[in-house]
Amino acid sequence: MRSDTRPWIWAAVVFLITFAGGFLFYTFLTFILAEETSSALIAFRQDFLFVLLLLFVTPAILAGLAAALMVNRYVRPVEKLSDISSLLGKNTSLPEYSPSGITFIDRLGQNLDAAAKRLNDQESEMQEQLRSASRKLSRERDTLATIIEQLQEGLVVTNKEGRILLFNAPAEQMLSLPDKNPPTYLGLGRPLDQVIENAPVQLAIDESRHPDGNGSFRFTVSSPGDQLLQIRAIPASLKDDPDSGNLFFIRNITGSVLKHHKEEEFADDGIRRVRDSVAGIRAAADNLKNYPDAGADMQEQFLGLILNETETIAALVGDYQKEQGKNKPGEGLNQVISLSALLGMMQRISAQSGLNLSFSFPEDEPYVEADACSVSISLLYMTGKIKELMGDDIRIASESADEHHKIKISWTGEEPDQDQLQNWIGGFPEFDGIKLPFSMQTVMQQHRAEWWTQSEDGSCEFNMILPKAEKPASPKTGKGHFDFDLFQFSLSSEIAKTPLKKITATVFDTETTGLYPSDGDRLISVGAVRILNGKLRENQSFHHYINPGRPIPEASTRIHGITDEMVAEKPNAAHCLKDFYRFCEEDIFIAHNAAFDMRFLELEQRGAGVDFSRPVIDTLLLSTILHPNLEGHSIDDLATRYGIKTETRHQALGDAIMTARVFLKMIPLLAGINIHTIEDATRASRESVYAKIRY
């Protein structure tokens, strides 16, 4: 309704009400007054009807005009103020208020103008603060990224669920090994414990946050590249924030371990040679003592022997000092930890596994120098072996001496024979899914530890002694200096509800010997690239050629350029698809004409021992929904339509990258027709006529 007609509508309503009221009042009087008076009123109406109507109409008109004036004078200014107030906080400029001449309304309008001005000033100030904070955050992120890239250690940052948020180049060099068998791919959004098999990632996250720990947890694993990696996990936040992630610092200690072994060999050889020299000196001294009358030549010969052996010992000592001088601070494989913390860690790990053990903790606070993870897993591994043969009544306690601390595993029953014990100690410890990359004997040697068993009156013990260590100084902690809002990122557990603009997926394409997978055509190439959080990651790609086990027709070669010679020495499809499965893992798939590519995967996946069942988004089907009246829905048509430069067409990786770019261009267009999530896209795709195609 137009605002300028509203007063006259009110005037009409008031006119009708006033007129009807006057008529009803007149009629009412004719009924209640005396008969003589009532007859006079009726006669007056009959004789002076026009005058009577004028008496009714005139007040009604005046009342209607008064109502219109009231609406114009009081109601419309208030309504205008109401409309103006509704625009507050909407980032719009308010229309100027025109004074109405009514004091209280004009005062309200003036207050509203002042409030709008203050709000606009505050919004402008807030926007400037946001821009300043954004610039500062950008600089801090750039600085932090530079620092991370310059670290000599590998660094992987995960969220609270252990999924990778970022990593630097050294970490990628140590953990991303696509050429190994089996290959590994370090990728954003992937669980770290799937990149490093048998790694106690969740244990490290839990223990680094445990109140009894020292704020970090170290463990050693074997990488797919047959390298020993020492990984140190610490919480990403100094505050006790359960939603913060973890930092994993990775160091290749293969050289340190080899050096440690060489040092032991050097020391053993030096000791043997010193003993030989001391024996020669002693023999020469005995001869000088026993034969005082020996000739000068003989005595000179004995003295020369003593001098030579002394110089040999001096040279050995010098060599040893030089070798020791090569050691750098921080290259040790162990850390100082309290015995209570070590036993507490063992207790928590055993409880999680369901192993029922009794623990006794020391009353004082002794410290040992140890690799807590390898010692804990080794002792629990030994406990598990003992439990398999001896029963459930197993107790773990500690004792302290002047130079060492002893951890003992005691039980009631028989003592294992020495061959069995040696076999256990020579094995690689494994407990509750955590497997060490070296034997328990190596753990003993690394810790200069000794072990033995003893039994008395039906009670047996396995004893392990560790060297004492001094209590470490408390580390200095302080407030961090970064506002890095990275840990809010987490992959949705409900894939169907994931917004397309936040999608994480593997976009793939295949090249084949022909177009009929059910009639014997086979894969000859698979290429893929990842989209993470709605962004194309071309540096996370996969491209393998496959030997199809049959000739490639010339007609197919003319399309994709792949010849029999190019795939003759390549592995078969089963080997390639195992690697591809490791690359894509939990990601959903995106492909163009996905039914064709998925059919080839379905035919080959059983031989590879994998299953590619997962949600699939087809850009061909989405194109028919977005552009139902346009001709052409091929990947070339879409690339032209969206202004995407075509490169390396009919190569699996090149086509996968182009499909990814096409899909990202589609996302805002799909939002325009109310398709926002993976569930929306798959539901709409089923309505396309192309969804009925089968291969």
Task: Name the DSSP class of 645.
Answer: P
Percent of the chain with pLDDT over 70: 73
Task: Please give the average per-residue pLDDT across 292-318, as a whole number.
Answer: 71
Torsional sign, CA 637, 638, 643, 647: negative
| Cα–Cα distance for residue pair 373/17, rounded to 1 Å | 92
Chain segment 399-435, per-residue pLDDT in tens: 877 777 888 888 887 778 888 888 888 888 888 888 8
Task: Please give the average per-residue pLDDT across 507-516, as a whole number.
Answer: 91
Query: What pLDDT shows up at residue 153?
Result: 81
**What are φ and ψ of residue 460, in 5° steps?**
-120, 155
Task: Please give the average per-residue pLDDT across 528-544, as a whole number.
Answer: 93
CATH class as words, domain 493-692: alpha beta
H-helix or E-strand containing 434?
strand 434-435
Task: Please give the average per-residue pLDDT across 47-68, as a whole number.
Answer: 69
- Its CATH architecture, for the domain 151-253, is 2-Layer Sandwich (3.30)
SS3 assignment, position 408: strand
Do 188 and 532 form a contact (C-beta atoms < 8 A)?
A: yes
H-helix or E-strand containing 167?
strand 164-167
Task: Please give the average per-residue pLDDT across 421-450, as a whole number.
Answer: 85
Q: For 106-110, 345-349, 378-382, 512-516, which range has the lowest pLDDT when averaged over its residues?
A: 106-110
Task: Please give the average per-residue pLDDT across 305-325, as a whole number.
Answer: 66
Chain segment 655-690, per-residue pLDDT in tens: 999 999 999 999 999 999 999 999 888 888 777 655
List the catalytic residue out of 210, 575, 650, 676: 650
Query: What pLDDT shows up at residue 441?
Result: 86
Q: To the nearest whole number, what is the mean pLDDT of the chain?
A: 77
Query: What pLDDT shows up at residue 491?
Result: 37
**456 or 391, higher pLDDT:** 456
* Confidence at 526, pLDDT banded by 50, 70, 90: very high
**Long-range pairs for 482-485: beta carbons < 8 A, 24 or more residues apart:** 482/140, 482/144, 483/137, 483/140, 484/140, 484/141, 484/144, 485/137
Q: Of 515, 504, 656, 479, whose CA–CA distance to 596 is shortest? A: 515
Query: What pLDDT shows up at residue 619?
Result: 92
Q: For 99-108, 190-199, 565-574, 600-609, which range has the lowest pLDDT when averaged over its residues?
A: 99-108
User: Tokens representing 620?
Assistant: 């061909």
Q: Is the pLDDT of residue 641 over 80?
A: yes
H-helix or E-strand containing 537?
strand 535-545
Beta bridge partners of 222: 228
Q: Where are the domains of the chain?
A: 2-66, 87-150, 151-253, 256-326, 335-467, 493-692
Query: What pLDDT shows up at residue 412?
Result: 83
Query: What pLDDT shows up at residue 488?
Result: 40
Query: What pLDDT shows up at residue 657?
Result: 94
* Confidence at 160, pLDDT banded by 50, 70, 90: confident
- Alpha carbon distances (Å) from 267 to 321, 450, 534: 11, 19, 58
Query: What pLDDT shows up at residue 485?
Result: 39
Do 464 and 440 form a contact (C-beta atoms < 8 A)?
A: no
| Cα–Cα distance for residue pair 503/533, rounded to 1 Å | 5
| Cα–Cα distance for residue pair 649/674, rounded to 1 Å | 32
Query: What pLDDT shows up at residue 330?
Result: 36
Residues contacting residue 505 through CB under 8 Å, at least 6 positions apart:
530, 531, 587, 588, 589, 590, 617
Chain segment 578-588, per-residue pLDDT in tens: 999 999 988 89
Query: What pLDDT shows up at residue 490?
Result: 41
Task: Please give the average per-residue pLDDT across 264-279, as a whole number.
Answer: 64
| Cα–Cα distance for residue pair 538/542, rounded to 1 Å | 10
676 in active site: no
CATH T-level topology, domain 335-467:
Heat Shock Protein 90 (3.30.565)
User: Angle at which helices 103-150 and 76-86 pack, to 10 degrees?
Assistant: 0
Task: Please give the average per-residue pLDDT across 449-477, as a whole number.
Answer: 78
H-helix or E-strand containing 407?
strand 404-412
User: Tokens representing 81?
Assistant: 């103020």
Percent of the chain with pLDDT over 90: 15
**569 or 30, higher pLDDT:** 569
